[in-house]
Amino acid sequence: MSDDEADPELLALLRQHLQGKLTLHDGPETGVLQGAEYVYDNAIDVAIDMRACKNAAAVIYAQMQQKGYSPATWAAHELHPSRAELGDDAMVAFVFTMDLLNFSFWSELPEAERFTIEYRGRRWTGYWSLVAALRRALDEGIPITDSHFWQDEEECTLDVLRHVFRSCTNEEMPLLAERLACLREAGQVLYEKYECHPANLIDEANGSAAALVNLLARDFKCFRDEHVFEGRRKPIRILKRAQILAADLWACFEGEGYGDFWDIDKLTMFADYRVPQILNSMGCISYSPPLSTAIRTKRDIPSGSNWEMQLRACSIWCVELIRREIVKQNPDCRLNAILIDFFLYDTIKEMEAAGQETVPHHRTRSIWY
Ligand SMILES: Nc1nc2c(c(CN[C@H]3C=C[C@H](O)[C@@H]3O)cn2[C@@H]2O[C@H](COP(=O)(O)O)[C@@H](O)[C@H]2O)c(=O)[nH]1
């Protein structure tokens, strides 16, 4: 075919698109948003306040504009390593390891006694303690981001992991044995299916964030964050760490190379224990009296329970409604659920640091978030 003859198949696709018959954004779906809406439609303990969401949309958008929120915000955090520092493949391995273990840092101990990592002369807690511990391990020559190491039962032992995550207080990192199990499983799957390199997983997703999320949920039990809701045959997919892994890659590679996903806007908010907290403090979601009491008295809310599923799924749906409201109020804006989520997480952490938390976050201990 000479250069000036267009490919008939391409012409047919173009014709369908122009006739509105083909949304070029077809492609893999994760099903997370649909499941979140289903739970919201059947929730009785969590409600969404549309007026508060409209107000929140305006406030969030204004502050995100003012702070210039963009994928580059990720690398702006002083503790996140940069691509330049690590190189692309080591950066992928770091982000993969980080989001494999990115769960359950909360503690009931006072600030001075809770699990804390000392690194570069500072004390890091919560999510940042994970980032600090991984960087400290690499500085110490421990190959904590190498999947061969994860599989080596002589080298990568629970005691070595205790050393990697040693606290400068008496409290051990929560769920340490579970974290070792995640590393072991991921090492095994990467060995069996992806020649030991997470970068091969990204290549397999072929530029689709939804496909990457689905591959993670399909091949790794420890990423398969899905739970039965009210006996429904199909489990509800939340996939928080699988989604935040795709989002962190997109952000740290600023949408290029290993972070280049054509469907990145399909990802939803990451249902953790911090964003529901700020949504509740902004009045966007509210709780039934029993659930509200359970959260305010810091009672354990079991993983996969009806209350917990409502909390997580309604938060996902609430952020989607805020996102739609932001787009309605600012038609040309390019914000997606990821950047709104990152902003909400960072904001509640600033509020926590300033002692301005008005409601506690909910207490669920699990490997999912
Ligand atoms: N939804 C959502 N959840 C997030 C994050 C992050 C950090 N992301 C960084 C990357 C870009 C952003 O700008 C952030 O700087 C951690 N988490 C989750 O929160 C919990 C940790 O809470 P705490 O113990 O208080 O630090 C735990 O479940 C963890 O998985 C986020 O962004 N969104």
Asked if residue 314 is part of any domain, the answer here is yes
Query: Ligand 1 centre and the CA of 75: distance in Å?
Result: 14
Atom of ligand 1 nearest to the CA of 74: 11
Does the C-beta of 107 come closer than 6 Å to ligand 1?
no
Are 319 and 341 in contact by the 8 Å Cβ rule? The answer is: yes
Asked if residue 46 is part of any domain, the answer here is yes
- Percentage of the chain lying above the pLDDT 90 cut: 92
The structure's pTM equals: 0.94
Asked if residue 225 is part of any domain, the answer here is yes
pLDDT of residue 24: 52
pLDDT tens digits for range 201-218: 999 999 999 999 999 999
DSSP symbol at 206: T
Only one residue has tokens 């994970």, namely 130
Query: Ligand 1 centre and the CA of 265: distance in Å?
Result: 19
Compute how many other C-beta atoms are within 10 angstroms of the C-beta atom of residue 67: 13
Task: Pick the residue whose CA is nearest to atom 10 on ligand 1.
Answer: 74
Are 102 and 129 in contact by the 8 Å Cβ rule? The answer is: no
Q: Which residues contact 356 (CB under 8 A, 6 or more apart)?
A: none
pLDDT tens digits for range 112-148: 999 999 999 999 999 999 999 999 999 999 999 999 9
Helix ranges (H only) for the chain are 8-18, 32-41, 50-67, 72-76, 83-86, 88-100, 126-139, 147-151, 158-164, 176-193, 198-205, 209-219, 240-252, 275-281, 289-296, 306-329, 337-353
Asked if residue 364 is part of any domain, the answer here is no
Asked if residue 368 is part of any domain, the answer here is no
Asked if residue 104 is part of any domain, the answer here is yes
CA 1 to chain centre: 46
Number of domains in the chain: 1
Atom of ligand 1 nearest to the CA of 343: 13
Does the C-beta of 77 come closer than 6 Å to ligand 1?
yes
Range of the domain at 168: 29-353
Query: Ligand 1 centre and the CA of 310: distance in Å?
Result: 20
Only one residue has tokens 């489990």, namely 235
Half-sphere exposure of 102 (CA within 13 A, CB side): 25
Asked if residue 363 is part of any domain, the answer here is no
pLDDT of residue 17: 64
